[in-house]
A = this chain, B = another copy of it.
């Protein structure tokens, strides 16, 4: 479905019956995946497991109304759950009534931030993170999440999920039945991850169905473990379970803490940024596969509405998730109807008797989290970056290290700083070459790479970068160096900047060029420009630079050479 003019509910107007089978199967598969996942991520966030189900009902319905991606699956997500725990940890004790109020309030502020960004149309802000930095952030967060689940896996009381839980006490009391259950689940899930899809294909399933079947392993393992707990009465033996889950749909939550608005604003800004970033990266991958057009500002509004919905359900911040959306897509989802079906099934699970949910063993949920986040530990980006660009590899490792050492919130800031830092660092080393004329042609090339003619008193420099505040001082310094090097035998009289590769000149660079022009005038060197691109020249015409320019603007380097070399030769002849 190629929707080049998406609009709210546009997909419903264009709905065709042929799309229904895919949407239903995807809706069912994602619902089965979401029950253990939602509960597990609620644990990561430091909330009662049912909050994860609540977060999976109203938010996807609202996203279906306002979002622009057809196959995005919105709900709880590991990194956002970790950020929720990090934000609320200093404000309230996990499990307390205040903690739950603040979790919903955090979703509210996050939703408002996303909506405001969408209305201001500043979706481009997602581009503040480079891919390697995002990879490092994900790896760091995955390690923090997995480490944080170890106590639950070995059966001690559910710890406050904080970054300090990274420093696990060495003499951890271990509860044997829990360890056996959790460890068994871990082994099963890891085995399923490696072999289940292959096994299902060997049993005759198609490759798509086999992959989807393998994704349901967590649900199967959780169900099996629940049966085991009930059968052997493991709860009495001390295995922690989710405990009674209140039956019925989430009520309308209007509880707010008036004292905490300010404290929640900064984490909400960081969470909103990551919600958008994570959701966009999932949606973009799917949109390109489906040849859909994505509207980043509609995405912001869809995600904002989803988070408001989560707040009203008494849950916590939600986002679109790559892993879940990919399952949704592979299971056949054609439109947001798949998410509507998922939401309805989850609502039904809460209305139906929820007694069985009370017996879900926490060590097994912890195992599902650990295996799920292992999937986030991809090293392909690091490997590529190591070969392709050491600076990017360093940024990746530093971001992962930052998340581990300073926490997930600091990690976001570190990621932005490192993304921008590598950008500015590269800009501070501009590629500038001295041009020589290839004998007998109108071609000019880097004299370091090709033998070319140069003329005494005439220096042609090609600048291979757009000029902006990040590199203008470095460019000026390089020009000064090249002038000094070129003026050893004969004073330079003409400097021609060949701007064929300069795609833009910002205001800072305009000032830089204006100052350079004034200084060269004092030194009796004429500054000329050549091969200025159309849009750049149009823009320069609105400034004073071309009026005050000490030299001329030439269409080509060859025309500059012909005129200026001639002029210099004539002067020499006159002097002689």
The interface of chain A, by Cβ under 8 A from chain B, is 2, 4, 124-125, 127-132, 280, 284-285, 288-289, 291, 293-294, 381, 384-385, 387-389, 392-393, 419-428, 431, 449, 464-466, 468-471, 473-474, 476-477, 480-481, 484, 501, 503-504, 506-508, 510-512, 515-516, 519, 522-523, 533-535, 539, 542-544
Contact = CB atoms under 8 A, between A and B. Distances in A.
Query: Could you say which of A473, A477, A501, A507 has the most chain B C-beta atoms within 10 Å of its C-beta?
Result: A507
Counting from the closest, the 6 A-B pairs by CB-CB distance are A131-B508, A130-B469, A124-B428, A392-B507, A127-B470, A464-B503
A280 B476 CA distance: 14
Given A288-B519, A294-B477, A387-B543, A424 B507 contact: no
Contacts of A293: 477, 480-481
Contacts of A427: 127
A258 to B, nearest CB: 23
Nearest to A464: B503
Nearest to A128: B424
Contact of A384 (B384, B473, B476, B507): B507
B468 A542 contact: no
B466 A465 contact: yes
Given A431-B503, A464-B503, A507-B388, A127 B473 contact: yes
A510 B288 contact: no
21 contacts: A127-B469, A127-B470, A130-B468, A131-B469, A131-B507, A131-B512, A132-B508, A288-B519, A289-B522, A294-B477, A384-B510, A387-B543, A388-B510, A389-B507, A392-B506, A419-B469, A420-B420, A423-B423, A431-B503, A466-B503, A501-B501
A132 B468 CA distance: 11
A535 B464 CA distance: 11
A480 B4 contact: no
Given A2-B484, A132-B508, A423-B423, 10 more contacts: A125-B421, A131-B511, A284-B476, A288-B519, A291-B523, A293-B477, A385-B507, A420-B420, A423-B468, A465-B503
Given A288-B515, A291-B480, A507-B388, A471 B542 contact: no
Chain A's interface: helix, strand, loop or mixed, by majority? Answer: helix
Nearest to A540: B388
B542 A127 contact: no
A465 B464 CA distance: 11
Contact of A420 (B128, B539, B544): B128
Contacts of A423: 423, 468-470
A535 B124 contact: no
Contact of A388 (B127, B392, B449, B543): B543
B428 A127 contact: yes
Contacts of A477: 293-294
Nearest to A388: B543
B504 A471 contact: no
A387 B384 CA distance: 44
A511 B127 contact: no
B511 A381 contact: yes
A377 B387 CA distance: 49
A503 B501 contact: yes
Given A465-B466, A534-B449, A542-B387, A424 B480 contact: no
A506 B388 CA distance: 8
